[in-house]
Chain A
């Protein structure tokens, strides 16, 4: 008796736990998009409020409804903690009726959430993190890596610098998976181009004083100092390099630099740096139009991740519309057969491993004299065609890739 009661209780609870996707065309009568970003921490200017606004803009531009159902945007702060991010994602999928989680700045969080999404069979789109795991060991039909990744950064900036003659490298690497992964990718590129890595200094996250690492880089006599960190760490490293005269005999290669970082450094310190970005606000009429609307709402120019937040949300909503349902598998299939043509990219598509491939661009930071207006920071150097910018499908360890 007790046992059977227990079983029936368990069964009813299991019912309560699962949403009911198969009955309704759109689960819970709402298409809900969660923006999981850094709202208060070290990356909050790169993701944060701007990411939320970008997704909201997409929902509004789409008309506020899809298949006659409301589009709802919710947001949360992952505090740059993988455990917090995974917990929030789990809750959103279990009880929050969230169909898609977007942005996901921070590699550790992105990895954790991609794992949850795989288990719960819901969508994630990664725009704020570079970790290669998303399209390799962690890949699933529900995860899309949209804006950029470590491979594309390495093959953009890294390759360009080696080809310009920078054959010996010394890395300043943030001592975490993100930095080490980036360093590995770039090292591969350097070696493949007959270059040499002569050393690396690993520094803790959020280091304020880089002078001693710069000194080590100088002592190494390497031609290139590769900065494998981002945000405040990269800004401080570059500033210290300029201050200590490292830029006289050596060249800097910032491997992940954001427009906000350039803004924060100021052009006198940043000028001449090469950087790889998927998008820049001053590319054409469409990007300028988007940037202006974004600026009016947020008070700063959008970066590539925020533009990708907008673009990928549109992409998802279009797929829901085309599939006629928000059922994760059907939308996933639809997204993998649709091409994207918008202000973010003129020609983009999703591969089997979840990689969204599109052209990447190599930029150079303008000199103070070249800059005509606030936020006028970058000039184009080269286009890295989509097929070269990302890890070849044959190298992906993703089980979904048929070999």
Chain B
């Protein structure tokens, strides 16, 4: 059986692979969306933090012999703390200005971080071992799926659901939503909004670093691994609707699949299709798929 001239098996395989990529997009866009929702900052450094996560895991593994599982937990905290520091020292100063300044500030940070890693580690990829527990493959009949990729999809779904739970069902989440809607009023209720902003930025950055550790065994570790990713993830958040947190996670998975299918039919365009979708969505449904109209 064929779908538009492509064997069904290959078609199914591409959908699954699209989901794996979509899983990264989902976790990354989740962080980006949370940050924009609360801080009104377009965190252009998200891809750089993703790369930093992979590099920190790589460095910890090489010099401290830290295993994959410990890295998966420790790295987001370390990089998240760096994010906290950055927010306290720099981002804080530009709240209330036009969002374009946030974009430019974080764009500068990208150049510094990427340049730094390039000076220290060179530009080519450093291999990162797959954890022994997750080596091997599953034969699904229509394709061979490495266990690690299945693991990535699973983890991404768990992380997205956990984030959703925290935001929708816990007290901290309630504060967060309140502060997003009405920061002045929230402050009047005695909630420490600046602290909330710092923590939010730190968690968003931590999520990016987490995705970086997840990606390391698949992609290798190199300084430019996040640089083109950021505009794609960015586009995903815009398609989902800036500020809509679950919208961006769902869109991330969906666009991973669309990108995968593009690779089957017109692979040259796979890096561009996201922007085509984004242009169409913005023109037809300006607030994004899951966003609310706002000015």
Quick check: do A and B touch in the complex, using CB within 8 A?
A: yes
Chain B residues whose C-beta falls within 8 Å of the C-beta of A213 in the assembled complex: 263, 267
A216 to B270, CA, bound (A): 14
A239 to B260, CA, bound (A): 19
Q: Which residues of A (301-358) have their CB < 8 Å from a CB of B?
A: none
Q: Which residues of B (250-295) have their CB < 8 Å from a CB of A?
A: 260, 263-264, 267-268, 270-271
Task: Say which residue of B127, B263, B271 sits within 8 Å of A216 (CB atoms).
Answer: B263
A236 to B76, CA, bound (A): 25
B144, A245: Cβ atoms closer than 8 Å: yes
Chain A residues whose C-beta falls within 8 Å of the C-beta of B14 in the assembled complex: 212, 215
Q: Does A286 contact B (CB under 8 A)?
A: no
Chain B residues whose C-beta falls within 8 Å of the C-beta of A383 in the assembled complex: none
B149, A211: Cβ atoms closer than 8 Å: yes
Q: Does A184 contact B (CB under 8 A)?
A: no
Closest to A38 in B: B123
B267, A219: Cβ atoms closer than 8 Å: no
B127, A236: Cβ atoms closer than 8 Å: no
Task: Say which residue of B260, B264, B268 sits within 8 Å of A175 (CB atoms).
Answer: B268
Closest to A233 in B: B125
The minimal Cβ–Cβ distance linking B166 to chain A, given in whole angstroms, is 29
A264, B118: Cβ atoms closer than 8 Å: no
B213-238 Cβ-contact flags toward A at 8 Å (1 or 0): 00000111010110011000000000
B123, A41: Cβ atoms closer than 8 Å: yes
B220, A204: Cβ atoms closer than 8 Å: no
Q: Does B9 contact A (CB under 8 A)?
A: yes
Closest to B149 in A: A211
Task: Say which residue of A204, A219, A236, A266 sits within 8 Å of B10 (CB atoms).
Answer: A219
A260 to B102, CA, bound (A): 39
A208, B149: Cβ atoms closer than 8 Å: no
B124, A265: Cβ atoms closer than 8 Å: no
A42, B224: Cβ atoms closer than 8 Å: yes
B264, A232: Cβ atoms closer than 8 Å: no
B194-209 Cβ-contact flags toward A at 8 Å (1 or 0): 0000000000000000
B124, A260: Cβ atoms closer than 8 Å: yes
Q: Which residues of B (1-40) have their CB < 8 Å from a CB of A?
A: 6-7, 9-10, 13-14, 17-18, 20-21
Task: Say which residue of B20, B123, B126 sits within 8 Å of A44 (CB atoms).
Answer: B123
A265 to B14, CA, bound (A): 25
Task: Say which residue of B6, B143, B270 sits within 8 Å of A204 (CB atoms).
Answer: B270
The minimal Cβ–Cβ distance linking A262 to chain B, given in whole angstroms, is 11
The minimal Cβ–Cβ distance linking A210 to chain B, given in whole angstroms, is 10
Chain A residues whose C-beta falls within 8 Å of the C-beta of B222 in the assembled complex: 232
A44 to B121, CA, bound (A): 11
A215, B122: Cβ atoms closer than 8 Å: no
The minimal Cβ–Cβ distance linking A106 to chain B, given in whole angstroms, is 13
Closest to B12 in A: A215
Chain B residues whose C-beta falls within 8 Å of the C-beta of A216 in the assembled complex: 10, 263-264, 267
Chain A residues whose C-beta falls within 8 Å of the C-beta of B125 in the assembled complex: 232, 235-236, 264
A45, B271: Cβ atoms closer than 8 Å: no
Q: Does B96 contact A (CB under 8 A)?
A: no
A208 to B126, CA, bound (A): 13
The minimal Cβ–Cβ distance linking B256 to chain A, given in whole angstroms, is 10
Q: Does B108 contact A (CB under 8 A)?
A: no
Q: Does A206 contact B (CB under 8 A)?
A: yes
Q: Does B154 contact A (CB under 8 A)?
A: no
B264, A212: Cβ atoms closer than 8 Å: yes
Closest to B227 in A: A206
Contacts A212-B17, A215-B13, A244-B144; is A40 near B123 (CB within 8 Å)? Answer: yes
A243-284 Cβ-contact flags toward B at 8 Å (1 or 0): 111000000000000001100111001000000000000000
Closest to A202 in B: B268
A232 to B149, CA, bound (A): 20
Q: Does A177 contact B (CB under 8 A)?
A: no
Q: Does B146 contact A (CB under 8 A)?
A: yes
Most A Cβ at <10 Å: residue of B9, B144, B149: B144
A209, B21: Cβ atoms closer than 8 Å: yes
23 contacts between A and B (CB under 8 A): A40-B123, A42-B124, A42-B224, A43-B123, A44-B118, A44-B123, A203-B270, A208-B220, A209-B218, A211-B17, A212-B13, A213-B263, A215-B10, A215-B13, A216-B10, A216-B267, A219-B9, A219-B10, A231-B124, A236-B220, A243-B137, A260-B124, A264-B127
Which B residues are closer than 8 A to A by beta carbons?
A: 6-7, 9-10, 13-14, 17-18, 20-21, 118, 122-127, 137, 143-144, 146, 149, 218-220, 222, 224-225, 228-229, 260, 263-264, 267-268, 270-271
